[in-house]
Amino acid sequence: MSSSNIPVTPAGFRTHLLAAAGCLLAASTAAWLPPAFANEAREGEDANIVRNSTMSLETPSSANRYISTLTPDGQRDITAHFRSFDGDPLSVRFLVSPAVSQASVQEFGVSTAELDALLEACRNQPGCDQEQFDRHTTRYYQQHALRLSSTRGQVPRLHIDVPQVVVRNRLRVKPVAAALRQLAAERGYGTEWMIEAAIALVQDGLTYRQPSTWENGRKILGFYPPPRALERGYGDCDTKAALLAAILQNLTQTRLVGVHFQRHYLLGMAGIPREDQAFIMHGGKPFVLVEAAGPARRRPGEVAPATQTALASREVLRIDPMF
């Protein structure tokens, strides 16, 4: 897990520790039960960018799997090649607006200049003290899809509010979902195939790579919102999980949760698991686990070895409801 301190105030004001999720493996408590590794559950606390999209079956003509070109009107024309879980070659083409991609980053993360402006405003306001400034900064973090957590005796920490990121960006990826829905209808496939195609796209079509810590003067914690991930063509586990959740929320009414280990992030989809599917329990209901990170193609319920190890060892995890 990567983390760093960002001084947002001078001496006497609060300094927060910003922590990225990371994507290696293994933090509040939840109930979980991977059927292959445990017999009983343990209860605990829960803790227009894309337009004119089309998708078709074809064989990639080159080794390039994520091809981006600039259109005359400044849009990014992107074609992503990937394979279905059955090994069929697929491709999806869509347009991404760099302006909307940038807007998704601006509404996320931390800018020291913006925090300095909050501090200056507080200084110039009669009666503004530490407590009031803390309220201002806490509201700022919430507005930028970050959650502040505090443990007694420890430095307060900021975490990415993945559900909030998904809510803000799901409409921006709606045409990708529409293209998947249209292709499924044309070929006589149902909802399950459509959902699995979306998962395969995120796992296999986008490269696995962690975004930078800083971008354009903002601390983004090694995370891209969905529009930026589409524009850049890569992301790590939490970036890809947010992108996949945003797409899936346009395809199905099935409830989703984010599942956060210390160094990994994946999704859970509400549903009755088959015997061979790994799942967690949340609110007394099962959620089948879905790996978004890739590059391995894994169907719902098929999890990475590191995830299996974490679940089998009953590591503490955090559940992020996305409904």
Q: What pTM does this model have?
A: 0.83
Q: How many domains does the chain have?
A: 1
Query: What gap in Å lies between CA 291 and CA 286, rounded to an integer?
Result: 16
- Res 180: pLDDT: 83
Of 217, 231, 292, 299, whose CA–CA distance to 259 is shortest? 292
Query: What gap in Å lies between CA 23 and CA 253, rounded to an integer?
Result: 27
| Cβ proximity of 287 and 280 under 8 Å | yes
Q: Each residue's pLDDT tens digit in the chain (323 positions)? A: 333 333 333 333 344 455 555 675 433 333 333 333 332 222 222 333 333 333 333 344 434 689 999 999 999 998 889 899 999 988 888 889 999 999 999 999 999 999 999 999 999 988 888 889 989 999 999 999 999 887 777 787 889 999 999 999 999 998 888 888 887 888 889 999 999 999 999 999 999 999 999 998 899 999 999 999 999 999 999 999 999 999 999 999 999 999 998 789 999 999 999 999 999 999 999 999 999 999 999 999 999 998 998 888 888 789 999 99
Query: What gap in Å lies between CA 29 and CA 318, rounded to an integer?
Result: 6
Query: What gap in Å lies between CA 105 and CA 245, rounded to an integer?
Result: 18
| Cβ proximity of 26 and 262 under 8 Å | yes
- Res 42: pLDDT: 27
Walk across the sheet containing 16-19 and list its strands. Answer: 3-6, 16-19, 157-160, 146-149
Instruction: Give me Rg for the CA atoms of the chain.
Output: 20
- Structural domain containing residue 281: 3-47+49-321
Query: What gap in Å lies between CA 21 and CA 18, rounded to an integer?
Result: 10
- Res 19: pLDDT: 52
